C-alpha cells in the first residue's frame, strides 16, 4: 500500500494503514459526490484494493444519479441494512417522487441540498472506518449491535 515496508510497532503500522485507507475511501466518495452520484451501498465488501494499493469502490447497483434523478426513489430500500443510515437522517419523510429527467437536471442542486444524499454515504463510510479502528466490530453480529446502540441514542 505504501510502496515500502512500514517499521515501528503493530499499533503504529495499523494506525498508518487506517489513515491511508480512510483517506482513499473519503477521496473516492468525494469524487462520486462531485459528479452527482450517491453510491448508497458503501461497505467493506464493495471495496477492492488494486495491486498498487489503491482502494476502489465497486457495485453501483444501488447508486443514484442525483443530476437527473436516475435510480432515485426515496421509498425504495436497496441497501444493506447494516451500513445504511436511519432514513430520517437522509431523506425527509414524504419526499416527492423524482421529477422527469429534464426537470430533475435543472432541480438537481436543490435536490442535493434538500435530501443531503452525501450524508447517506458518509454514515456508511463512518461505520466502515469504525470497523477499521475497532477490530472487534469486524466480528459477526458486533456491527449490528453497535448500529442499534447508535440509533437508540440518536433517534
List residues with catalytic annotation.
Answer: 41
Taking CA atoms, 79 is separated from 2, 61, 83, 106, in Å, by: 32, 10, 8, 27
DSSP per-residue letters across 57-74: E---TT-EETTTTBT--T
Residues with Cβ within 8 Å of residue 106, at least 6 apart in sequence: none
Amino acid at each position: 500500500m505504501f510502496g515500502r515496508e512500514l517499521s515501528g510497532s503493530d499499533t503504529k503500522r495499523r494506525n498508518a494503514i487506517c489513515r491511508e485507507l480512510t483517506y482513499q475511501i473519503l477521496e473516492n466518495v468525494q469524487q462520486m459526490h462531485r459528479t452527482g452520484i450517491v453510491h448508497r451501498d458503501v461497505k467493506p465488501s464493495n471495496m477492492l484494493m488494486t495491486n498498487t494499493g489503491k482502494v476502489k469502490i465497486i457495485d453501483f447497483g444501488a447508486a443514484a444519479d442525483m443530476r437527473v434523478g436516475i435510480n432515485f426513489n426515496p421509498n425504495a430500500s436497496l441497501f444493506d441494512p447494516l451500513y445504511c443510515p436511519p432514513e430520517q437522517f437522509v431523506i425527509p419523510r414524504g419526499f416527492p417522487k423524482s421529477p422527469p429527467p429534464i426537470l430533475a437536471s435543472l432541480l438537481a442542486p436543490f435536490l442535493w441540498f434538500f435530501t443531503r444524499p452525501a450524508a447517506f454515504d458518509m454514515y456508511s463510510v463512518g461505520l466502515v472506518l469504525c470497523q477499521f479502528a475497532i477490530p472487534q466490530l469486524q466480528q459477526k453480529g458486533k456491527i449490528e449491535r453497535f448500529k442499534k446502540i447508535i440509533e437508540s441514542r440518536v433517534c
